[in-house]
């Protein structure tokens, strides 16, 4: 008996509820569900509005959506070329080990190469050894000399307010 092949397709606006569900499932797996504030309107606006901020590829088996990859453009000043940043890659647990994650990454690699992008970047939680092993097997390199940083919430707002501080207006 042969394995049913995975079908990849660009997400459509009607996929918004499913995309949000996948995001929540991924966040739950990553023990970060408490950080998800996105709602259906956010997904519709940011992915399918007049100026989409990211793109999504859906993975299906026999017409059932079983995973997705959400990515967006980024830019390398060192190379002076754009790249792709993989924000989320998720395959439902019952469908893991069937090559779906690999198919999604192969698809994104092809988009990057065909689009003239210089690289494909993403992040992975340090404790997520199954995913890290999978990425290493594909040839991905960990960026050990780099630490990912983030400003969000009150810290982001406080820094932004400094743009209007009198000492900054010289």
The whole-angstrom separation of Cα 113 and Cα 120 is 9
List the one residue out of 4, 49, 43 whose CA is nearest residue 22.
43
Which residue in this structure is represented by tokens 């010289």? 170
| List 71, 85, 90, 135, catalytic entry | 135
How many CA atoms does the CB half-sphere of 128 hold within 13 Å?
16
Residue recorded with tokens 């918004």: 16
Q: What is the rounded distance in angstroms from the CA atom of residue 6 to the CA atom of residue 62? A: 8
Distance CA(101)–CA(143), nearest Å, equals 21
* Collapsed DSSP state (helix, strand, coil) of residue 67: strand
Q: For this structure, is 90 an active site residue?
A: no
Instruction: Compute the distance between CA of residue 58 and CA of residue 62 in angstroms, rounded to an integer.
Output: 13
Six token digits for residue 58:
């859906």
Catalytic residues: 135
């Amino acid at each position: 008996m042969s394995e049913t092949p995975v079908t990849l397709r660009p997400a459509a606006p009607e996929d918004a509820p499913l995309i949000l569900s996948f995001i929540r499932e991924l966040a739950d797996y990553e023990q970060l569900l408490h950080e998800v504030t996105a709602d259906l309107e956010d997904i519709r606006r940011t992915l399918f509005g007049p100026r989409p901020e990211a793109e999504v590829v859906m993975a299906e088996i026999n017409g059932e959506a079983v995973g997705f990859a959400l990515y967006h453009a980024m830019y390398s000043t060192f190379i002076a070329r754009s790249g792709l940043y993989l924000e989320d890659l998720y395959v439902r647990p019952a469908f893991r080990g069937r090559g779906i994650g690999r198919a999604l990454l192969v698809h994104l690699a092809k988009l990057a190469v065909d689009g003239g992008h210089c690289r494909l970047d993403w992040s992975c939680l340090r404790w997520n050894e199954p995913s890290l092993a999978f990425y290493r097997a594909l040839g991905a390199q960990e960026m050990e000399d780099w630490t990912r940083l983030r400003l969000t919430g009150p810290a982001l707002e406080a820094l932004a307010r400094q743009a209007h501080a009198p000492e900054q207006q010289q």
